[in-house]
Chain A
Amino acid sequence: MAQLSADNHGLRLVVRYTVLGLIALIFVFPLVFMLMSSLKPDAQLLSDTRSLRAFLPVGDISLDNYFDAFRRAPVGLFIFNSVIVTGVTVVLTLFICSAAAFAFVFVDWRGRDLVLTLILATLIVPFETIAIPLLLIASKLPWLGFDGLTYGWLNSYQVQIIPFVADGLTIFLFVQYFKDLPGELIEAARVEGASWWQVYRRVVIPLAGPVLATAAILKFLVMYNQYLWPLMVVQEERYRPVMVGLQYFFQLNRAWGEIMAYLSLITVPVLAFYLFLQRAFIASIASTGVKG
């Protein structure tokens, strides 16, 4: 009987890992196709698409597409711009949205529920509907920089960052998470004389690892994939992000190999960020798993 049970368990494991392996393959296939295609000349790339050769490093393999991609566009500059814009936005978003959620959940103030409802209502407003009014505002806003007081934020990093440092979805994520934290912890800290800032900084944020990681990943993806807004507000190449840069490769005679090389290059920061936060995410769960 015990032998039968062990056999069943083993069979279940085999089936489970086979299914999981197949699903993983399906998800990995596009990435493998992209990487393999980035190493092939266009004619071979196109002829390989009808067979499994598309997923294999066979035939005329070289890094020429990567060199050509760097010749066609300032790839490094675009990646740098996107990393700066995305990185700063993620950091500011985590601070501002978590602080806002903290105020909504733990601090008692008049009109709190109404304001939260209004913020959540913004979730149903697509960005495209406010893009033009936002453009008109951004084109006239003052900015105090190295050149003194100037007007108009077009062609800058701040115009790509500041409109996105607070959003309803991220505040909602923090609010939901904070509601599940034990209220006794906050009460105890307040009784001990901690200020609201100290409670936020020393009690709530250390317990918010999972939601910080989740919010960071979601925000990173949204910001890294920004296309419409930078297209509207950035006319100078030196501030262009990667997704607008992708259009450099869509000429009438498309260089598919270079497109794949460019896509492979701009995918690296996304994968790196995800892998980095995946570990932080797991560590956060491990360290906060005892709270219940």
Chain B
Amino acid sequence: MTSLRLLATSIAITTAMSSAAFAQTTLTMWYHGAGNEVESNIVNQIISDFNASQSDWVVEIQSFPQAAYNDSVVAGALAGNLPDILDVDGPVMPNWAWSGYMQPLQIDEAKIANYLPGTKGVWNGELYSIGLWDAAISLVTRQSYLDELGLRTPTLAEPWTGEEFMDALAKAKASGNFDYALDLGTAWTGEWYPYAFSPFLQSFGGDIIDRSTYTSAEGVLNGDAAVAFGNWWQGLFEDGYAQATQDPADRDNGFNSGKYAFSWNGNWAALGTLDAYDDVLFLPAPDFGNGSKIGAASWQFGVSAASEHPEGASAFIEFALQDKYLAEFSNGIGLIPATASAAAMTENYKEGGPLAVFFDLSEAQALVRPVTPGYVVAAKVFEKALADIANGADVQDALDSAVDEIDADVAKNDNYGF
């Protein structure tokens, strides 16, 4: 009888434990970091910690290579096969939200009050995505170059004016010490163009689209300020300061091997440059009249519209928003932690750290790319216009054509809901 009771008790306990195990709901997650071992390890660690921290949810990850990620998500959406959690590049988020691929996050917004502005993916007044880091661009050079060329060292409070910047390029070219004065990274195509170069346009006073209405680019992409920007842009190549087409090897290694005096590059490449030289400077963007600007918003986490468990997906994202994970990502892949408190925990971004300037740049100069579903089309149009202008196209014609194309796309999509 005792044996029978023991058996019954054992069965009851086993059943209860099984029920508890079965009560866990699986959340699928897609991530863009396949091939990046460090990034994958950190994401896997967060998932492992989250799964161990509670008994309601189990997150399972599927990683994609970055170059194939966006197309995979769009195909997954078409096939009705989206996961619960996905990550999204900041400027693409409004398009995915508008297309019905994503739903608003259910997280406590007090927790992200002190996050860098570029890490918050807000569309239509609602938070759809949140990033654990941001990225920033600076004008990279060496103190020794500035000294040799007799140039003032610009600061965040007092960046170079447009004239000072052009004077620096002219002096670098005249010195004969460099193949080209400026490495713009034209070897990188795609999103690099709007991310890296539209801030110049914005500093001139133009923009990719009119942000007051988001329904037209007329006047902002082909007005006087934009044409001034276009003429300046074309002059960089016509005057031999930069290359309209660039060997990818030069982009990767050119500045570090002394071919360029200045390089317009992101914080993700900064550690390699610090290894190459001991007097590297990361300077703020020049001010062409409307303030110094740099791009903002990197990869962020969000919840897919197909998720039947948005509360679980949001719980995971909220769990990931811990300073220790922000710091781990920063230490691992060199990106800017989303909070000052996380930055203080990192080697590179703590006060006095070699990359701390990027946190300040991001905080002071960052301007998110136009927050509209039409950005994905406008970005490609902008890239083509800049490439055409760099290769000698008439500036006004190229910009007018770009405006026509962007406006036609906006009209075709019923103003994207604006």
Enumerate chain A interface residues (CB-CB to B < 8 A). 42-43, 46-47, 49, 71-73, 132, 135-136, 138-139, 152, 154, 231-233, 235-237, 244-245, 247-254, 256
Contacts and interface: CB of A to CB of B under 8 A. Distances in A.
B252 A235 contact: no
A139 B35 contact: no
12 contacts: A42-B252, A47-B253, A49-B249, A132-B78, A136-B79, A235-B30, A236-B62, A247-B35, A247-B66, A248-B65, A249-B35, A252-B269
Contacts of B80: 139
A236 B34 CA distance: 11
Contacts of A71: 37
Given A136-B79, A235-B72, A251-B36, A43 B253 contact: yes
The 3 closest A-B pairs by CB, nearest first: A248-B35, A247-B65, A139-B79
Interface residues of B, number: 29
Given A139-B80, A233-B75, A235-B30, 17 more contacts: A42-B253, A46-B249, A46-B253, A47-B257, A49-B249, A72-B35, A132-B78, A154-B81, A231-B71, A232-B79, A235-B81, A247-B34, A250-B66, A253-B269, A254-B248, A256-B249, A256-B252
A253 B249 CA distance: 11
A272 to B, nearest CB: 26
A253 B68 contact: no
Given A72-B35, A132-B78, A237-B34, A232 B71 contact: yes
Contacts of A256: 249, 252
Nearest to B268: A252
Contact of A247 (B67, B76, B268): B67
Contacts of B75: 135, 231-233
B64 interface: yes
Contacts of B257: 47
Given A73-B34, A231-B71, A249-B35, A135 B78 contact: yes
Contacts of B266: 252
Given A72-B35, A236-B62, A247-B35, A231 B79 contact: no
A42 B272 CA distance: 13
Nearest to A68: B37
Contacts of A236: 62
Contact of A135 (B34, B64, B79): B79
Interface centre among A49, A136, A253 (most CB of B within 10 A): A253
Interface in B207-242: none
A231 B72 contact: yes
B77 to A, nearest CB: 11
A153 to B, nearest CB: 10
B272 A253 contact: yes
Contacts, number: 79
Contact of A139 (B34, B68, B81): B81
B186 to A, nearest CB: 16
Nearest to A131: B75
Interface string B16-56: 00000000000000100011110000000000000000000
A36 to B, nearest CB: 15
B106 interface: no
A105 B253 CA distance: 60
B383 to A, nearest CB: 17
B341 interface: no
B63 interface: yes
Contact of B78 (A49, A136, A254): A136
A31 B169 CA distance: 40
A58 to B, nearest CB: 18
A10 B54 CA distance: 84
Contacts of B30: 235
Contacts of B252: 42, 46, 253-254, 256
Contacts of A254: 248, 252
Nearest to B82: A235
Given A43-B253, A46-B253, A254-B248, A235 B78 contact: no
Nearest to B75: A232
A244 B81 contact: no
Given A46-B253, A139-B81, A237 B63 contact: yes
Interface in B313-346: none
A154 B252 CA distance: 38
B62 A237 contact: yes
A135 B269 CA distance: 38
A154 B34 CA distance: 20
A51 B67 CA distance: 31
Given A231-B72, A232-B71, A232-B72, A251 B35 contact: yes
A231 B68 contact: yes
A46 to B, nearest CB: 4
Contacts of B79: 135-136, 138-139, 152, 154, 232-233
A232 B73 CA distance: 8
B30 to A, nearest CB: 7
A234 to B, nearest CB: 9
A73 B30 CA distance: 17
